Structures are given as structure tokens and as C-alpha cells.
Amino acid sequence: MTVDTIQPDLQSIPTPALTIDAAVVRDNIGRLSEYARRAGVGVRPHTKTHKLRHIARMQLEAGAIGLTAAKVSEAAAISDSGEDVLLAYPPIGRHRAEQLAELAKDRTVRAAVDSEAAVEMMADAALQTGATVGLLVDVNVGMDRTGVPTPADALRLAQAIDRSKGLRVDGIMIYPGHIYDPPTKQMTAIGAVNAIVEETLELWQRAGLEASIVSGGSTPTAYQSHLMPRVTEIRAGAYVFNDMNTVRCSYCAIENCAARVVATVVSDAISGQVVIDAGSKSLTRDPSSDPNAGFGYVVEFPEARISKLSEEHGQIDVSACSTRPRIGERLTVIPNHVCPCVNLHDSVWWIEANEAPREVRVDARGKVQ
Amino acid sequence: MTVDTIQPDLQSIPTPALTIDAAVVRDNIGRLSEYARRAGVGVRPHTKTHKLRHIARMQLEAGAIGLTAAKVSEAAAISDSGEDVLLAYPPIGRHRAEQLAELAKDRTVRAAVDSEAAVEMMADAALQTGATVGLLVDVNVGMDRTGVPTPADALRLAQAIDRSKGLRVDGIMIYPGHIYDPPTKQMTAIGAVNAIVEETLELWQRAGLEASIVSGGSTPTAYQSHLMPRVTEIRAGAYVFNDMNTVRCSYCAIENCAARVVATVVSDAISGQVVIDAGSKSLTRDPSSDPNAGFGYVVEFPEARISKLSEEHGQIDVSACSTRPRIGERLTVIPNHVCPCVNLHDSVWWIEANEAPREVRVDARGKVQ
């Protein structure tokens, strides 16, 4: 890898700072959009990655069929009246279901459910507001996080939705988040997912239920969507920025990473080490898919390894580097996992070519409810 | 351990929510304050744990001699005009040094340095504002994060400070953050720390330099401060709330943990597991000191194990529990490491006995610069 140098514009902003390269974002959005058009699948980007209203609009303008959010407060912060938003999360809890039904008054709202309790809570809240909420039955395809365990369970739940006033059966949701293999090795796992989807849809058809939506995808499987013929839309999130986990699993290259933390070296007192002002409060402690890789990639010093993080200190082992960063020098770090990293920053710096960096508030940061 | 049940008041707040038990906070502050008085050592609490102006005032009212912050934006957010605040961090970077010098106009400000570059940057900024900043020389006592490596280096740096206009040599700072042994096993490590401090102070004395402050401590070593005779103040932070790491290392009991995340069960679709609405965005991914312990302790289900976290999902293995939480039920989780957990929450719920929970903004959340 070539040694990069930091842009002159980024020498004056207070650090640590999360920067977003607008050209890379546009390129990432355009590439998935073009693939999806050719594959005949809709893109419903997961906005948890960027949390920026501005980027959500860029995605919609590039042809996204709607947005995805993880929590209802996030859905409210990121989507606008008249738009289409999916809560890829069970609407459990009075507050959550009620706020979702409230949103459904002026936009198309859907949620994913994997229990009769969720169906009942959502129906109660929808009836209160008079709005209709579309539900997708969350079917477990191997991630073992949420999702009904069998196609027969999915049918039973769809029938419960179908009996409920204020609700609409819209289809199924799958999350193949367990598939991390590089694209060339994904075939077996994708085949297993297809079999579950196929069996579920067959049962529904026999029971007279239509699944107009089969919501799937993730960044690792996004470009394999043409191998999942029943999937109608993909909920990729990380693709918009990318990160070291997407690089290390061969889904993209370093230059496709739009989000980078600029940090300053604040200490070199310990031999073979420098310390930057970005710790777990700026980068997160999310581990790398490569156990030897440390807590992010230092663009200017590819041989460096961020070996330890405390909240405000990033300890970088520079013993393998031919030259070493000096105190006060700025470094650029690509995080392991960009989604929780964005959540730590009140604002990001938006970088357009030939323009001064512009500070932009992260609209949906901290929306955990 | 006995099975606890959640307070009725906490059944209605939106989840996930971080709650703070005021009585436990007062007890934790009082206990360290009383010990420190007997041991003849000052308490300069690290405010990074709570990030609440309100608690900083409680600590000062209980006799704290000043406050500690990790970043200058945190120091500005948490301390008031006329107060005394230590930046336990190198003032490297123009923005950082200038903002610190600005604060020194109306309060007592000190910072820790481990390089001549830091001394020069701080001197430049202090001269610009006309304020005086006191510096402590950060001496490495085994944590190997920051700090000059030897007592001789500490002397050289103190002499550089002494030659600089706008700066004042105030003493040394140590951070024995590597000492995690239970109190009964800390003696050897504490002896090694004492030896370095003693040698440093002797060199300073011979050179005619006074170290009026020897700033040390951490929550794990706080109650051993009487065994560190040269330490004048301790910068304990976590003691104010405690967490599972302080419990597991025998520094406190479960009932001394003031900060707890209330979460709702949102799925039980996967056998032997329930999912709560608190993931890494509410609890952090900070690991436990016990590798088998998972990502926090579920108060109501002591046999449960939070085995996996994604951003918005906490997957709890309940296979060892005799009864299992139901969908919609609320659980209380004590985080592994409370400091970064607080940083994830825009507000906390302040719980006083016989009062409704009160939502309080976290003043210094997200202050990473």
C-alpha cells in the first residue's frame, strides 16, 4: 500500500474529527444503485450507518425505494413526511409502537415482527392513531439473533397479522448478517437462505397470503443479490461509507472508505509507541475481523497497529514503521466498524474537492430508543 | 445473589435508558471522601465517569479539592469559573492548548505533560492569553500508555517547564491504571510505583524544584492510597457509579452500582435466548475482566449471560435460568465499564427515593476534543 498524506484542509480542524469524503460517498451510492438496477432489486439503505438526513436524500435521489432504521427515534429523525421507512426491529414496548404508529400518519411505515406480542402491540397502537402499519415477518435464516425459526411459524404469524385491524401483511424480512465470507465463497450460505425463503413463500401462497416484499441483504451480500431471486429489496448500510471490516473481507478497497477519523499524536514517551487523541470514544472498541489488525487502519503508516484503546487514548505500535509520526502530527484512521463510530460523533466534516471542510451535525446520533 | 425486581417507576420510561440511583451515588462519594480524610489525601474526581455538572458539584461539596477531565472540551463543560480543574492529558494541538489557556483566565488550570513539545505548545498558548497554567510531569509507573520513562526524564521536563513563561511546575502525575489486582494483592505493584515516585521527588528536591502535587490513584487503587505516602491527591472516577469491572475485582458489591441500563425484551424467537433493546450503542462493547461474563450483568436474572451485542440488539443466553423473561418485560443491566456507557446517553434518569424519575441531560457527553 502506498503512504498517503493528510489533506492540508484537515490540518486545522479540532481533533479527533470524523471526516466524510463526499466523492467517495457518491461513488459508493452510485455503484450499488447501478448494480441493483441491473439485478432488478430495490435498495432500501439502512440509515444507521450514516445517520445523516442529507445522505438519506442522496440515496433516495439515486433511486432508493425507501429507508431503513433500527429504532423508531432514528426513523423519525431521518425520514420525512411522504417517505417510506422500514423499522427493521420489533415494535415492542408501548412507547416504540405508539411513536411508530404516529409516524405512519404521514408516511409509509413498516416494521419487522417475530412474535404475536409484537403484532398485538403494533395493532393496539395503530388502532389508536387510525393509521395502517405494514408488517414484515422476520424469518431467521441463520444469524440466530431475531426471527421466527421456521417457515411454518412465519405463516402462523402472517395469519395473525392478517386478522388484525390497522395492520397489513407486506411480506418477510431476512437478515443474512452471518454471511461474512468473501463474495467468492458465499454460494453455499446463500443457497441455504434461498431454501428457507422459498419454503416460506410457498406456504404463504398456498394459504392465500401475498408477500409483496422480501427484504434482505446486508453490505457483505449486497452484490450477490442476483443469486437470491426472491429478494425484492436489500437493506445494505455500511456500503455508503465502508470500513476496515468491509475492506478485509474483500468487499471494497481502501480508497472506497469514505469515513475516516483524523487524530493528533499527543505522546511518544513510551518506546516503540505513539498515542493519538482518538480512543474508544472516537473509534469504538469494535474488533476487527482480523484478530491481528488492531482497532483501525492508519492510512499514513500502513505498518502501524492500533494495539490498545482506552477512552481518550489510542496506543499505536509503530515498531514496524520505517519512519514514525511526530508529536503534533495528524493521522487518518479508518475504523473497523463505521456504524457505531458515526454514533460517537456529534458532527462530521463533509469534504468536497476544492472546498473547505464543512461541519455537519449528525442528525440521528444517539437515537437508541 | 438474590433476584431483584425492577422499580415500578421504571416501567414507563422509554428504553433503553440509563438510570442513576442518587442514594448510591451519595454513599459512594461519602465513602471515598471519608477514607481520603482519614488517609490525609485529596480527592480530585475524574469527571469522565459521570459527565454531569450536578455530580461534580456534589463531589466538591463532599470535600473534593478539584476536578479532573480527560479532554479540554470536557473540562470546559464540567467546571465553573473559580474552580480548580486538571486536564489529565497532554495539551497537544493548537486548539487544545489555546482552549485550556482560555479556561485558565478564570479558574485554576493544570495539565499533564510528557514531552517538551507539550511544554512549548502550552507555553505559547498561555503567553497569548496572559494566564498561568500549572503543569504536572506525567511519569510512567507501569501502565505504559503515556508518561516519561524515567525519573531523570521527569527532572529534565520539570526544568524545561520551570524555564517557560506562563507555566508553573506543580508536581508530578502518575496513573497506576495497570493495577487491577484485588486490594489484598496490590502490595507488590504499589511498592514499585512508590519507588519511582520517591526517586523522582528526590531528584527534584536536589535540583531545587518543588512538587507540591503528586497526583495519583484510580478506582482500583483508591482505597490503598494510605500505602502511597507521597501521593497528595487521587483521581478516581468510576467509584462514583461503580460497574461490573469494579465488582468483579472486589472493589465493591452489586448494591454499590449506581448506574444501570433499563432495557426491554423485544424478541424470544431463538431458543434459549432473549433479545433486549440495548446493544453496543447503549452498553458499549467494553469487555468484562472475566472472559466468561458477557457484556453486563442482568440484575433480575443472575444466571443470564449477555453473550452477543450488535448495535441495537443485546442477545442474552437464558438457557441457565429457571424462569425466563417474557417479551415486553424490562430488565436492568449493570454495564461492564460505566464511563464509556454514560458517554452513549444524551440523558440519564435520576432516581431519588419516593420521587418520580427525573430526566437529566449529560452535560459533557461526546466531548472528545
A3-53 pLDDT per residue, tens = 456 777 788 899 999 999 999 999 999 999 999 999 999 999 999 999 999
Q: Which residues of B fall within a CB distance of 8 Å from A264?
A: 92-93
Chain A's closest residue to B264, CA to CA, is A93
- Measured CA to CA, the distance from residue B286 to residue B289 in angstroms comes to 9
Give CA–CA dist A294/B286, Å, rounded.
15
- Please give the sequence-ordered ranges of beta strands (E in DSSP) within chain A, or none if there are none: 17-21, 42-43, 67-69, 84-87, 108-113, 133-138, 167-173, 213-216, 233-234, 259-267, 273-276, 297-298, 305-309, 314-317, 330-334, 347-351, 358-361
Does the pLDDT value for residue B6 go beyond 80?
no
Q: What letter would DSSP give residue B148?
A: B
What is the model's pLDDT at position B258? 98
pLDDT at B3 over 80: no
Stretch among A132-141, B5-14, B90-99 having the lowest mean pLDDT = B5-14
Burial zone of B269 (CB within 10 Å; 0-12 exposed, 13-18 middle, 19+ buried): buried
* Mutation for testing the B interface, residue in A153, A311, A344 having most B CBs under 10 Å: A311
Would you state the pLDDT for residue A127?
97
CA of B257 to nearest chain A CA: how many angstroms apart? 20
Contact state of B369 with A14 under an 8 Å Cβ cutoff: yes
Residues of A in contact with B113 (CB under 8 A): none
Q: pLDDT (tens digit, 9 = 90+) per residue, B220-264?
A: 889 999 999 999 999 999 999 999 999 998 899 999 999 999 999
Are the Cβ atoms of B145 and A275 closer than 8 angstroms?
yes
**Which ipTM score applies to this complex?**
0.96
State yes or no: cis peptide before B220, omega within 30 of 0.
no
Chain B residues touching residue A328 (CB < 8 angstroms): 92-93, 117, 121
Q: In the A/B pair of chains, how many CB contacts fall below 8 A?
A: 189
Q: A266–B93: do the CB atoms touch at under 8 Å? A: yes
| Predicted pLDDT of residue B4 | 58
Q: What is the pLDDT of residue A185?
A: 78
End-to-end CA distance of chain A: 41
Helix (H/G/I), strand (E/B), else coil: A337: coil
With a cut of 80, say whether residue B1 has pLDDT above it. no
Q: Are A102 and A72 in contact (CB under 8 A)?
A: no
Single-letter amino acid code for the residue at B348: V
CA separation for the pair A338, A334 (Å, rounded): 8
Burial of B2 (0-12, 13-18, 19+ CB in 10 A): exposed
Q: Which residue has the cell 437515537?
A: A367
Task: Give me the pLDDT at residue A6, please.
Answer: 74
Which three cell numbers mark A299?
492510512
Across the interface, do A264 and B310 touch by the CB < 8 Å criterion? no
Write down the pLDDT at residue A186: 80
Q: Residue B40, by phi and psi: left (phi above 0), alpha (psi -120 to 50) or beta?
A: left
Look at residue B188 and tell me whether its pLDDT is greater than 90.
no
Q: Cell digits for B243?
A: 460497574
With beta carbons less than 8 A apart as the criterion, state whether A247 and A180 touch: no
Chain B contact set for A173 (CB, 8 A): none
Residues of A in contact with B271 (CB under 8 A): 149
- Entry pTM: 0.96
CA distances B332 to A235, B262, B325, B354, B355, Å, are 31, 5, 12, 19, 19
Q: Do residue A93 and residue B328 have CB atoms under 8 angstroms apart?
A: yes
Which pLDDT value is given to residue B8? Answer: 77
Residues of B in contact with A312 (CB under 8 A): 48, 70-71, 89, 368
Confidence band, pLDDT 50/70/90 cuts, at residue B2 = very low
Measured CA to CA, the distance from residue A279 to residue A274 in angstroms comes to: 13
Quote the Cα angle for B35-B41-B42, to 5°: 100
Which residue is associated with the grid cell 410457498? A202
User: pLDDT band at residue B5, thresholds of 50, 70 and 90?
Assistant: low
Could you check whether the bond before residue A16 is cis, i.e. omega within 30 degrees of 0? yes
Angle at Cα A165 formed by Cα A163 and Cα A170, nearest 5°? 70
| Cross-chain CB nearest to A267 (options B16, B115, B327) | B115
Q: Do residue A149 and residue B271 have CB atoms under 8 angstroms apart?
A: yes
- Which residue of B15, B138, B268 is in closest CB contact with A115? B268
pLDDT at A67: 98
pLDDT tens, N- to C-terminus, chain A (369 residues): 344 567 777 888 999 999 999 999 999 999 999 999 999 999 999 999 999 999 999 999 999 999 999 999 999 999 999 999 999 999 999 999 999 999 999 999 999 999 999 999 999 999 999 999 999 999 999 999 999 999 999 999 999 999 999 999 999 999 998 887 777 778 888 999 999 999 999 999 999 999 999 999 899 889 999 999 999 999 999 999 999 999 998 899 999 999 999 999 999 999 999 999 999 999 999 999 888 899 999 999 999 999 999 999 999 999 999 999 999 999 999 999 999 999 999 999 999 999 999 999 999 999 999
